[in-house]
Structure 1
Amino acid sequence: MVQKLKAFIFDFDGLIVDTETPWYYAFRDIYEEHGVELGLELWSKNVGTSFEEFHPYRYLEQMLQKEINHEQVRLLSEQKYEAYLGQAGILPGVLELLDAAREKGIRLAVASSSTRDWVHGYLQKLGLFDYFEVIHTSDDVKRVKPDPELYLLTLQKLGVEADEAIVFEDSPNGLKAANAAGIRCYIVPNEVTRGLEFTMHERRLSSLAEMKI
């Protein structure tokens, strides 16, 4: 029997703010400057997770067959990222959904594979931090998505069962984590993840503006 809906759990990058597309553009440019193509399918392997599946620095070294200066590439990627990000705002439908959920008494949480400083910083900058009762990041777990640890920890902290929550995700890695935790998952792909394969999801939305409670 399906229990009463009690909580929404949100991914962060690419769902609340599209921080993922600028990172792809930044590394795509760096690769092009070295005469190497960085395909979206290859880059998407690390979306929603860590660099274990695809490490952009090491892969570039493999393609060039020589070592590169990791610190130099890091600084350059951050410069390009900031230029592409510009004044990134909250993605469509996010604020409306948060307000509607709070009005209905639905509890709100974030479960992200990014670092605590990264997630907390953006949420505070965007004025969203106080919406969320629970915020868990890579600093709180041993394994990030697609491992379910982040979602299981978030459920435990909220004190709700898996069938009392809905997860919102933009990546296959996030979807796998939600499925492994036994939580219904609504996928909301962004520019980077739109063409990827998503299986076993509850519903697909073009943006959170489509979500009605």
Structure 2
Amino acid sequence: MIKAVVFDFDGLIMDTETFEYYSFRDLLQDYGLELPFQLYSSRIGGHVDSFDPYRYLQERCAEPLDRELLRELRREKFAALFANEHARPGVEDYLCEAKEAGLLIGLASSAPKDWVVPLLDKLRLTSYFGCIRTFENATRVKPDPELYLQVLQFFDIAPQEAVAFEDSPNGALAAKRAGMRCVIVPNELTRGLTFPEVDLRLNSMRDLSLNTMIRLLEQA
């Protein structure tokens, strides 16, 4: 019996990942360079150090670059792209359904808390979550299962009693390594990536109601 739902944040609740990629892509284009998505994709949903776009840029430029200036320029590009973003379709519906059904609701994100929580506050979704675990809580982030295992431990439930919602291969792998059911809802950036074996794939959380989705998982 499913007792809990656990959400990723970046790319799943808000499609921050697509705009982050675009902001790095546009920054490199200012220097006449392309940003290879195959290299960049390794950092999606996992540790940002798995691929460093700033280092990639510096290694291909003859002159030394000011990394802090690059960061500032990149953030400006991101802010302009991301200014009018909202939660992805169906996210709040799922949270409302979960709350009405009496399910435990958690969040496990490889991103820092000072990034995740202010955005949840902006969306007015923070109060739905009984447990939030972010970068600072773990010694190893996704695709390691530690963040998910911490949420399961907090709720005092078995892995098979929880469903994880993910948008990236790194996140899906973390959930499956934790022994959980995993439903993927890829975004614009991740829909073409190769995912590990998961329990269900949706184009949008509006494809199925949460109750119908849970019923399908429990009957499988």
CA-to-aligned-CA distance 1:70-124 (integer Å, 9 cap, x gap):
1001000110000000221111000111111111111111100000111110111
Distance in 1 of aligned mates of 2:154 and 2:138: 13
1:134 maps to 2:127:
no
Residue matched to 1:207: 204
Q: Which moved more, 1:65-74 or 1:107-116?
A: 65-74
- Correspondence 1:1-213 to 2 at 5 A: 4-64=1-61, 66-212=63-209, 213=211
Distance in 1 of aligned mates of 2:155 and 2:66: 43
Gaps of 5+ in 1: none
Q: What is the one-letter code of the residue matched to 2:191?
A: R
Distance in 2 of aligned mates of 1:105 and 1:114: 27
Q: What is the one-letter code of the residue matched to 1:89?
A: H
CA-to-aligned-CA distance 1:128-152 (integer Å, 9 cap, x gap):
0000000000011111101111011
Displacement of 1:65: 5.1
Q: Which moved more, 1:103-112 or 1:60-69?
A: 60-69
Distance in 1 of aligned mates of 2:145 and 2:42: 17
Superposed CA RMSD: 1.1
Displacement of 1:68: 1.9
Matched length? 210
Q: What is the one-letter code of the residue matched to 2:81?
A: Y
Q: Percent identity?
A: 46
Distance in 2 of aligned mates of 1:72 and 1:107: 43
Q: Which moved more, 1:56-65 or 1:114-123?
A: 56-65
Distance in 2 of aligned mates of 1:124 and 1:156: 25
Distance in 1 of aligned mates of 2:166 and 2:60: 32
Gaps of 5+ in 2: 212-220
**4+ long deviations beyond 6 Å:** none
Distance in 1 of aligned mates of 2:84 and 2:33: 29
CA-to-aligned-CA distance 1:130-175 (integer Å, 9 cap, x gap):
0000000001111110111101111001111100000000000001
Displacement of 1:208: 1.2
Displacement of 1:40: 2.3
Aligned CA distance change for structure 1 residues 45 and 66 (closer, same or farther; 3 Å) = farther
TM value normalised by structure 1: 0.95
Distance in 1 of aligned mates of 2:107 and 2:201: 19
- SS at 1:135 equivalent: strand
Distance in 2 of aligned mates of 1:159 and 1:67: 51
TM value normalised by structure 2: 0.93
